[in-house]
Amino acid sequence: MRHFNQGNEILLNITLVKYMVAMNPRYSRQIVIPEVGEEGQKKLQKAKVVVLGTGGLGSPILYYLAAAGIGHVRFIDNDCVDISNLNRQILHDTPRVGKRKTDSALQALKALNPEIKIEAIDANFSPDNAKDMFKGMQYAIDASDNLDAKFLVNETAVQMRIPCTVGGVIRWDGQMMSVRPGKSACYRCVFGEKPPEGTMQPPSKLGIIGITAGLLGTIEASEAIKYFLGFTDEGCLVNRLLMVDLRSLDFTMIGIKKNPKCKTCGGS
């Protein structure tokens, strides 16, 4: 009797997989995962994510959000593709050097998944337009390369009650955290005030190996996908700072706490 039941279970699983593949073969490999399933895929298709940046972090973030079937992906950039970008910014390629990054990214993402809504904004992200750029979105991801933008993503997301993930990379090192406005520590809780102008070298001077951005960007994308699939905060980088050193393959998780005196989220 046990063998009969196991056989029925196998047949049922095969039938289920065939049904899911027939429904949309594009997502068949993730639909069969217990944490996703048909209902989870529907949640992803209804999800709306905004990403600041289409560079080293933004490239894997946008590729994997689109590949997973996030229904509405919006991204923001105001730069052109440069040959020096191509060691890490895999959304772009040599023939598109000199092209606007938003146009280049749009071309790559539409080729990958024409079934989703992809929205490009070619503009400078600033305090004057940040809320307009985040309007209607359900999750925000920072993929910028400067502290001003990271603090502004955090501040805008907290004010608009939009969950977000903020990450940064340099050389072989990366760090990131996720924020649940009103519940968790935010980026400013951890890093306080921005350092004085001119005290930090720009990324162009410090350098970066492409795989650092690839790895950290992929994890950032996973944070958004897990949020829409209903993973608990404990299963995400909420109230935790992930620090990665690819020289030694050290992955360090640091517990963080909400600062009640934080200028961005204190008193929320």
For the purposes of burial, counting CB atoms within 10 Å of the CB of 95, is it exposed (0-12), middle (13-18) or buried (19 or more)?
A: exposed
* Helix boundaries (H) for the chain: 2-23, 28-31, 37-46, 58-68, 101-112, 130-134, 147-160, 187-191, 203-206, 210-228
pLDDT in tens, the chain (268 residues): 444 456 555 555 555 555 544 568 999 999 999 999 999 999 999 999 999 999 999 999 999 999 999 999 999 999 999 999 999 999 999 999 999 999 999 999 999 999 999 999 999 999 999 999 999 999 999 999 899 999 999 999 999 999 999 999 999 999 999 999 999 999 999 998 877 776 677 777 888 999 999 999 999 999 999 999 999 999 999 999 999 999 999 999 999 999 999 999 986 4
CA-nearest of 225, 262, 219, 226 to 241 is 219
- pLDDT for the residue 194: 78
The domain 46-193+201-255 is placed in CATH, from the list 3.40.50.261, 1.20.140.10, 3.20.20.140, 3.40.50.720, at: 3.40.50.720
- pLDDT for the residue 198: 67
Instruction: Name 255's bridge partners.
Output: 240
- pLDDT for the residue 38: 94
- pLDDT for the residue 1: 44
- Alpha carbon 179 to chain centroid distance? 12
- pLDDT for the residue 15: 52
CA-nearest of 223, 250, 221 to 235 is 223
Q: Beta strand pairing status for 164-170 and 173-179?
A: antiparallel
For residue 234, give every residue at least 6 positions away whose Cβ sits within 8 Å of its Cβ, in sequence order, or none.
Answer: none
Q: Write down the domain spans for the chain.
A: 1-32, 46-193+201-255
